[in-house]
Structure 1
């Protein structure tokens, strides 16, 4: 296989992609139109790690399984259960002469992305991971040709300016959408925020969407006649799930959906490209409806123009409850306003939590946890040999199939 595009919706369990179908439908009448995920559904994969302390995975262990074909314990990147480094599909692609790319909405040295390009005992060693992206070589060359996401605080440090070092190795460095769109170099480091990018619903025009970053990566990587491996992560579906924030979750899921569409569009009418989209695990135990209401209300979510995080911060700046009307367009009861008003004497996080509870109530969205959950997650595929990912498999099987495809 010449080109492999792997997309990981971090935290994206079945309830998320089902919720997206409801979200797009927005009506009580007629059959729901399939999403692009529905059209490409082929199977499911398990997510459990081999951690003796926990049978629920974290992103590092799940990312390592998807990257290497080896299940491992939580917290480590690119290491097996014996703490031995094992090659990743990205490294193997580079060894085979292909170009490689990492694209995400978190800092690009965060766990899932880092699992494909580092070998380290703790996912929290962000500066070391960033250093490894530059310093480690495959056949004398840097491992990653295109890196797009957040993370300037880890790459532009007092002790080391990795952006300058990358540019000395024939990379370009860009920090906003305009620079990304006008830059034409084949090797590129693009960092668009100190840590993670804002959620898509909160982004201004200077920060690229996940689909724009995916498109920019594909334009560069396809120039290699030997092909490429590209990993694209919808990083903050998971972060919204941890917050039990349905507004953030739908925002990030739509961002990821658009990136998947971009990848499928690239693969359309080609016989040399496989596109796989899956998740590393599910997060939050999201349910479509709660409390026996028998009616989920995505119209409530659609009527909100920013995440609760941004709304809460703005409310604390203004100390004016009427500011809510700028962001929330569905009718609120007086008791709702009073509850939010009372939190303005507390911390921003208290206002954020109150807003999340209120939105979950009106949208009838349920959650069971603030953490990860252990159910199987979906696999979607498009392109030649998509059938190889059909049925139920272990997460580590995905990597093993990809290694075989690149042989």
Structure 2
């Protein structure tokens, strides 16, 4: 009899622990902020840079001040090092899936996303990113496809999704194959299609009642629009990804920032009496880390934090109704803060003069090395802040340029070796080290504030973030 009582008691304790807290509040407004590739090093490094730039050691990134914190594991169903498709699906649906899979489980079955569940509850929804809208993380919240590479199909899923506010890059997957507009996107690139058919999804969105903001003209109109008067929005500003923040600031200031897109999304979605669910991705943090680009990481992390600030300002106006959860999907680059060669110090001042990105400019853009060594070194000095080369640095760049002349490449994604070498030299001057040009399996920091934020604290798998959010919102995934 005593054994039975003990068993019943243990069952009651388990039930109490697993059940939602009595009287727990349910948020009306949810901001799910995802920094792609945003590990602990990226967060801390960017904060150190802000302190150096502003000469104020008290400065902090807002995301690093939230009262609730935790760590998340990120592995996929078929690999310990995940990609953004599997990680995005875990964060969106609470399901482990295979690398490269969007919105499906490891057996290929569609899984419900938090955005879809929010729509079923009558909430307004938004998806915002600095990547192509059809890229893995945003796609995982609204699409279902066996391969993240099927971006034309993912674009069609967006049309069917019913998401009220969509903003990012990737015009090329939404327009018919015959369409081409010279110098038409928001950074002056030609708009052309990646589709194999004549489907015009932008026109279809417009016919479905969406206001559309496309390319350069769309960027200009976006900045002049009163979004409190808009009901549904699709904004696609660039042919592919949106520019890195360091180049948006210095060259493409007409392109809306992630913070500005977030503010517009709030103005559209907050009119819904049932509240809203918004996913905001700082997507190019990951791309910068793939290129081992320290300043690219920093500026896009700061831009992400500024978008969090927009959400936080809204939270302060609605403190009893708002939840903000900040996560990463995985770490990229194996970023280490410190190297033997420089001892116990970091030198953020080495990064202050940089004005360009490694990937978009040095690897593939106007700053790409193409055989003129003197011109390349001058460009690095003037735009990348890499001057006064010592003998070792000069020799490394010389070898890298010679390798490029011979057609060799560097890193997993086979980039121009001159660009990657320049990135490594600049990183080393700040005493930063990179172990890889791809993702790692390291745990990811989480921070949160607002209604029931404490439920996200502690060590959790990435699937538990989605499951906790669904439980809190009374969603069924």
User: Common fold, TM-score beyond 0.5?
Assistant: yes
Name the structure 2 match of 1:216. 264
Q: Which residue of 72, 81, 96 maps to 1:45?
A: 72
Q: What is the SS of the residue equivalent to 1:274? A: strand
Shift of 1:19: 0.9
Name the structure 2 match of 1:356. 423
Q: Distance in 1 between matches of 2:152 and 2:167?
A: 17
Q: What is the SS of the residue equivalent to 2:122? A: coil
- Greater mean alpha carbon deviation, residues 252-261 or residues 177-186: 177-186
Q: Distance in 2 between matches of 1:26 and 1:108?
A: 34
Asked whether the equivalents of residues 61 and 71 of structure 1 are also in contact (C-alpha less than 8 Å), the reply is: yes
Q: Which structure 1 segments of 5+ residues have no match? A: 136-141
Shift of 1:317: 7.9
Q: Which residue of 201, 209, 212 maps to 1:170?
A: 209
Shift of 1:232: 0.5
Asked whether the equivalents of residues 332 and 438 of structure 2 are also in contact (C-alpha less than 8 Å), the reply is: yes
Q: Structure 1 pair 97/30, CA: closer, same or farther in 2 (3 Å)? A: closer
Name the structure 2 match of 1:399. 466
Q: What is the SS of the residue equivalent to 1:26? A: helix
Q: Which residue of 229, 236, 239 maps to 1:194?
A: 239
Q: Distance in 2 between matches of 1:122 and 1:330?
A: 40
Q: Distance in 2 between matches of 1:192 and 1:166?
A: 15
Q: Distance in 2 between matches of 1:216 and 1:43?
A: 30
Shift of 1:2: 1.1
Shift of 1:341: 6.6
Shift of 1:129: 0.3
Q: Which residue of 99, 121, 143 maps to 1:96?
A: 121
Q: Distance in 2 between matches of 1:56 and 1:350?
A: 25
Q: What is the SS of the residue equivalent to 1:102? A: strand
Asked whether the equivalents of residues 311 and 327 of structure 1 are also in contact (C-alpha less than 8 Å), the reply is: no
1:106 paired to 2:106: no
1:309-354, CA deviations, whole angstroms, 9 ceiling, x for partnerless residues?
Answer: 4246434589424333431446422644676577287378233123
Name the structure 1 match of 2:12. none
Name the structure 1 match of 2:173. 154
Name the structure 1 match of 2:331. 282
Q: What is the SS of the residue equivalent to 2:340? A: coil
Shift of 1:180: 1.1
Question: Which TM-score applies when normalising by structure 1?
Answer: 0.92
Q: Distance in 1 between matches of 2:168 and 2:56?
A: 39
1:63-95, CA deviations, whole angstroms, 9 ceiling, x for partnerless residues?
Answer: 111111111221111112222111110001011
Q: Distance in 2 between matches of 1:328 and 1:376?
A: 31
Q: Distance in 2 between matches of 1:178 and 1:314?
A: 24
Name the structure 2 match of 1:180. 222
Asked whether the equivalents of residues 381 and 387 of structure 2 are also in contact (C-alpha less than 8 Å), the reply is: no
Name the structure 1 match of 2:17. none
1:109-166, CA deviations, whole angstroms, 9 ceiling, x for partnerless residues?
Answer: 111111111111111110000011113xxxxxx4211110000111112221111110
Q: Which structure 2 segments of 5+ residues have no match? A: 1-26, 178-197, 408-414
1:193-230, CA deviations, whole angstroms, 9 ceiling, x for partnerless residues?
Answer: 11101101112022111111111111111111111110
- Greater mean alpha carbon deviation, residues 172-181 or residues 396-405: 172-181
Q: What is the SS of the residue equivalent to 2:199? A: coil
1:336-379, CA deviations, whole angstroms, 9 ceiling, x for partnerless residues?
Answer: 46765772873782331231122122121101111111121111
Q: Distance in 2 between matches of 1:338 and 1:394?
A: 45
Q: Which residue of 69, 81, 97 maps to 1:56?
A: 81
Asked whether the equivalents of residues 202 and 307 of structure 1 are also in contact (C-alpha less than 8 Å), the reply is: yes
1:14 paired to 2:40: yes
- Greater mean alpha carbon deviation, residues 33-42 or residues 144-153: 33-42
Q: Distance in 2 between matches of 1:317 and 1:214?
A: 39
CA radius of gyration, larger in:
2
Name the structure 2 match of 1:26. 52
Asked whether the equivalents of residues 386 and 426 of structure 2 are also in contact (C-alpha less than 8 Å), the reply is: no
- Greater mean alpha carbon deviation, residues 200-209 or residues 273-282: 200-209
Shift of 1:234: 0.6
Number of aligned residue pairs: give it. Answer: 398
- Greater mean alpha carbon deviation, residues 75-84 or residues 320-329: 320-329
Q: Distance in 1 between matches of 2:106 and 2:164?
A: 29
Q: Distance in 1 between matches of 2:459 and 2:394?
A: 47
- Superposed, 1:114-263 pairs within 5 Å as 114-135=139-160, 142-158=161-177, 159-175=198-214, 176-183=218-225, 184=227, 185-203=230-248, 204-263=252-311
Shift of 1:32: 4.9
1:165-204, CA deviations, whole angstroms, 9 ceiling, x for partnerless residues?
Answer: 1000010111343211223422111111111011011120
Q: Distance in 2 between matches of 1:150 and 1:105?
A: 7
Q: Distance in 2 between matches of 1:252 and 1:13?
A: 13
- Greater mean alpha carbon deviation, residues 359-368 or residues 3-12: 359-368
Q: Distance in 2 between matches of 1:83 and 1:329?
A: 48
Q: What is the SS of the residue equivalent to 1:190? A: strand
1:66 paired to 2:91: yes
Name the structure 1 match of 2:382. 326
Asked whether the equivalents of residues 22 and 32 of structure 1 are also in contact (C-alpha less than 8 Å), the reply is: no
